A and B are shown apart, each in its own frame.
Chain A
Amino acid sequence: MRFSFGLLMKFGLLRHLISLILGFIAENKFIVSKRCQQAYCDYPQRLMPTGDDTNTGECNAMEKQKSKIKSYGKLLIPMTLSMSLLLSACSGSGSPSEASQPEGASGGSGERVTLKLEVFDRGNAPSGMTISNNYLTNYVQDNFGTPNNIDMEFYPVPRSEETAKLNILMASANDVPDIVFTYDSGTFYRYASQGGLTEVGELLDEYGPNLKAFLGEDALAYGQIDGEQLAIPGRRLVLGKYASYVRQDWLDKLGLPVPTTTEQLYDTLVAFKEQDPGETGGRVIPLGMSVAPAQLDSLLWSFVEPISDEERITRTQKLGSSDYPVLLPGYKEGLRFLNKLYHEGLISKDFALDEDKKLLWQDVQNGLVGAYSEDAGELLFEYNGTYKNLQANSPGAVMTPIDPYVNAEGLSAKPGYAPNAMFIMIPKSSKRAVEAIKYLDWMASEDHLFFMQNGVEGENYTLVDGIPVANADASQDIKDRLYNYGDMAIIVNGKYMGDDEKNAEAYIRQVPEVYHDMMRTSVEISDTNKSAPIIMPVPIEAESRYGSALRAKLNEIIVKLTMSSPDTFDTTYDSLMNEYMAGGGQAILDERTKVYEDMMK
């Protein structure tokens, strides 16, 4: 937004006061030109998957940027008394797309409009790019915006302050982008229940056939409330969450089998503790543990006893965005098992401190950890580097993916992801709902999504067995093009290749080639006996009210019961659960029961 005097004047109440302070505004003081790197601009105008001429693309937006004049305001502040101060201030300017003037409208008709899109800002823009002006935003502008006579304006929202910022934008009505999104179902329900979202069912039918086909009914259902389509959920491709790992070289040294049940795992951990096959000098941590769900869930969920659907639906508690089996039979025994592990020295004394898993990774890399559960294959990814570092630190170290936690039925039950990703919403105040749907539909059609996720063939990737594999030796400039594709390709979570098999394969091939087999096994384990989160026909109000407080409380319960003396375990459990129920657990249970009964009528 330009520093405009007129706008200033609109604020009637304070007009006179302000005009005392702010004298006049001058403009156009500096001309700032922006660097236009070659690699930054040379995407194809229309994508040609086989094309040799991928470098012939234009760089319209960037050319404009070069000559863009930034307006700098100059303020005179008269100090009512005998002095005055002359200051010059950078008043900046809003969006890069301001620069794109209407030009020979090639595609759309009528007035040129602006479509404002939220984009997550994670502060990791490579040198020479910004979150709202980079290779992908230019691709979107030139391939969707310009042909349809639309200016795309990208509105960065800091990832870590997402909800706070969205709330403020929503409350300020006219600043709010036309497309907003969140991963937090509570935020979506809140906006929906306060009547702030556009119902997009008909719009989808009319303008989003490709989008609808792409997302499928499964994912779309997560954006429906009482039959109204109030959000467009993105589609999640990889639904498995967790796998466990054990040090194969330790097993071999002790002549132990790969553990396949909880009891066997326990025996293995005890052997690790007593015989210290890693020669850690007593620093061994048989089971890596933290307070993150990735470490706790596989273990705790396997203790849940087989139950009826009714019980599962009514007694599950959704806190934040995940389901917790806290009230289900058997959960308490899972906690008792943790308590036992803790008191026998089989898990780290510091697990309660480790909320971001930093200590866990450190211990695994130093060869102190015998077994642990995690997001499937996390240790293999290059950005994580754990496996690589482990093998550098302790030569000969080998991890094997395992699936040891089994329930009473002998199944390794564990949670998985819901088939939806983020909730994409169009605020009711938006006048560009049609264009917004068109944009999402554009992304889902032809190979736009493929391009946004993979870039240019031969430069960013090579096709191997029909699956694009990133060129490891591509120059930094070329790699940087796609630096935030995950946040730009909002309709999908994971790389989309066309069918499930290829999607999974593409996921597996994101780790270095030597780990492909291990990654494949990890993904298989994460898919085994996984259960999708429960979907309720209406949002449970008590969950959005008490959810975040209860999640904190539940983590506290887990930690306290793990660390409490085994003698007082039961009494501690009772008193903590009383607090939990009084703090909203009962309210959620009651409401879910009622919704279930209504559903069954």
Chain B
Amino acid sequence: MTEKQANRLFDLTNVVLITLAVIVCIAPFIHIIAISLSSSRAIMSGEVTLLPIEVTWEAYKRVFTDASMLRSLGFTMYLTVITTILSMIMTILAAYPLAKSSLRWKSLIMFFIVITMFFSGGMIPEYLLVRDLGLINTTWSLVLPNLISPFFLIILITFFKGIPDSLEEAADVDGSSHFRTLFSIVLPLSAPVMATLSLFYAVNRWNGFQDTLMYITNPNLYPLQLKLYQIVSNAQASDLLRSEGVGMFEIMPEGLKAASVIFATVPILLVYPWLQRYFVNGTMVGAVKG
């Protein structure tokens, strides 16, 4: 077998394997879409797999005409953008100095940060803190308490460390300040990891709802995932509905649930394809040590 043939075999196998993985990954999503478009009889009889049965757009009509859903979507987008920007700024501010070998007390500061990955005060003191800061029922209660993820911070430090010191030293010698180095050298070189971490922060915020359960009671500030969680958990508690005597009024039909899931998921799914341009190979030709 020539090398060329071997290469083609490798490529072929690779494409086939990835195609298989793609099918396995997209099938459940298609299933959810199919459910959102099917009649409730077909759904409840378990007939729907990958194609909608007795197609109806009713569920989407209801989702898109529900003012509170649209408002939630708007609020969630706003919240996600604010959180991502602030989190990234803070994470960069922390990561840049901590990636410098010249920083004294570095291990101590890292230890101080790592501790918070493991120890926490628990729900009650955290609630009291947020309350005493006057943040209950504000956007800030959903932004500030998880502003920096130590995990993402450590990742960013790792990437910053990978940037050759020689580049930065050159800048230092030029007399440029640390800020100039950060903006003109470090950040442009780190575009892929910046994009990645922004995505991580955005997705975490988009998908997170546990804090909203504690800090938000104003329905105008309900993020989408909280609504989604309630819709899905109501179905889990159908037994409760009965014994609590509230089952008589309408509970969410399955199709509407699925449509809500799609409604709440697709916007954040679209972020990655948009970010992919930062992953173009070779943006950092010759810049980063191997």
Residues of A within 8 A of B (CB): 1, 3-5, 7-8, 10-11, 14, 18, 35, 73, 75, 79, 81-82, 85, 87, 89-95, 121-125, 127-128, 130-133, 155-156, 158-161, 164-165, 167-168, 171-172, 175, 183, 236, 238, 292, 294, 356-357, 361-362, 365-366, 375, 378, 381, 383, 385-386, 388-389, 392-393, 417, 421-422, 482-487, 493-494, 510
The answer to whether A486 touches B244, judged by C-beta atoms less than 8 angstroms apart, is yes
Residues of the A chain whose Cβ atoms lie less than 8 Å from the Cβ of B238: 356-357
Interface segment, B16-24, B64-72, B151-159, B192-200? B64-72
A120 to chain B, nearest CB (A): 8
The answer to whether B139 touches A90, judged by C-beta atoms less than 8 angstroms apart, is yes
The answer to whether B128 touches A393, judged by C-beta atoms less than 8 angstroms apart, is no
The answer to whether A125 touches B68, judged by C-beta atoms less than 8 angstroms apart, is yes
Residues of B within 8 A of A (CB): 40-41, 44-46, 65-68, 75, 78, 82, 86, 89, 123-124, 127-128, 131-140, 179, 213-214, 217-221, 226-227, 229-231, 233-240, 242-252
Question: Within the assembled complex, what's the spacing in Å between the Cα atoms of A392 and B67?
Answer: 35
The answer to whether A18 touches B133, judged by C-beta atoms less than 8 angstroms apart, is yes
12 A-B pairs with C-beta separation under 8 A: A3-B134, A3-B135, A73-B138, A124-B230, A124-B252, A165-B214, A171-B127, A362-B46, A383-B247, A383-B250, A392-B41, A486-B245
The answer to whether B45 touches A165, judged by C-beta atoms less than 8 angstroms apart, is no
The answer to whether B136 touches A1, judged by C-beta atoms less than 8 angstroms apart, is yes
Residues of the B chain whose Cβ atoms lie less than 8 Å from the Cβ of A75: 140
Cβ contact of B137, chosen from A1, A127, A133, A483, cutoff 8 A: A1
Cβ contact of B45, chosen from A35, A356, A362, cutoff 8 A: A362
Cβ contact of A94, chosen from B41, B132, B137, B226, cutoff 8 A: B137
Cβ contact of A124, chosen from B46, B82, B250, cutoff 8 A: B250
Q: Given that A124-B234, A132-B217, A172-B127 are contacting pairs, would A375 and B137 also be in contact in the complex, using a CB cutoff of 8 Å? A: no
The answer to whether B220 touches A130, judged by C-beta atoms less than 8 angstroms apart, is yes
Question: Within the assembled complex, what's the spacing in Å between the Cα atoms of A357 and B237?
Answer: 11
The answer to whether A123 touches B227, judged by C-beta atoms less than 8 angstroms apart, is yes
B224 to chain A, nearest CB (A): 11
Q: Given that A132-B217, A156-B217 are contacting pairs, would A127 and B230 also be in contact in the complex, using a CB cutoff of 8 Å? A: no
The answer to whether B231 touches A171, judged by C-beta atoms less than 8 angstroms apart, is no
A449 to chain B, nearest CB (A): 13
Question: Within the assembled complex, what's the spacing in Å between the Cα atoms of A210 and B41?
Answer: 45
In the complex formed, the residue of B with least CB distance to A390 is B45
The answer to whether B230 touches A121, judged by C-beta atoms less than 8 angstroms apart, is yes
Question: Within the assembled complex, what's the spacing in Å between the Cα atoms of A89 and B219?
Answer: 17
Cβ contact of B230, chosen from A122, A417, A482, cutoff 8 A: A122
- Say what secondary structure dominates the interface of chain B: helix
Q: Given that A35-B67, A91-B139, A362-B44 are contacting pairs, would A172 and B124 also be in contact in the complex, using a CB cutoff of 8 Å? A: yes
Report, nearest first, the 5 A-B pairs whose CB atoms are least far apart.
A123-B230, A486-B246, A130-B219, A493-B245, A7-B134
Cβ contact of A156, chosen from B41, B75, B219, cutoff 8 A: B219
A298 to chain B, nearest CB (A): 15
In the complex formed, the residue of A with least CB distance to B230 is A123
Question: Within the assembled complex, what's the spacing in Å between the Cα atoms of A2 and B156?
Answer: 36
The answer to whether B218 touches A168, judged by C-beta atoms less than 8 angstroms apart, is no
Residues of the B chain whose Cβ atoms lie less than 8 Å from the Cβ of A383: 247-251
Question: Within the assembled complex, what's the spacing in Å between the Cα atoms of A392 and B179?
Answer: 71
Cβ contact of A365, chosen from B45, B135, B137, cutoff 8 A: B45
The answer to whether B221 touches A92, judged by C-beta atoms less than 8 angstroms apart, is yes
Question: Within the assembled complex, what's the spacing in Å between the Cα atoms of A132 and B247?
Answer: 20
Cβ contact of B44, chosen from A92, A130, A385, cutoff 8 A: A385
Residues of the B chain whose Cβ atoms lie less than 8 Å from the Cβ of A160: 229-230, 233-234, 236-237
B170 to chain A, nearest CB (A): 22
Instruction: Give the residue among A160, A381, A482 with the most B Cβ atoms within 10 A.
Output: A160
Instruction: Give the residue among A91, A122, A485 with the most B Cβ atoms within 10 A.
Output: A122
Residues of the A chain whose Cβ atoms lie less than 8 Å from the Cβ of B133: 8, 11, 14, 18
The answer to whether A130 touches B132, judged by C-beta atoms less than 8 angstroms apart, is no
A415 to chain B, nearest CB (A): 12
Question: Within the assembled complex, what's the spacing in Å between the Cα atoms of A482 and B89?
Answer: 47
B24 to chain A, nearest CB (A): 21
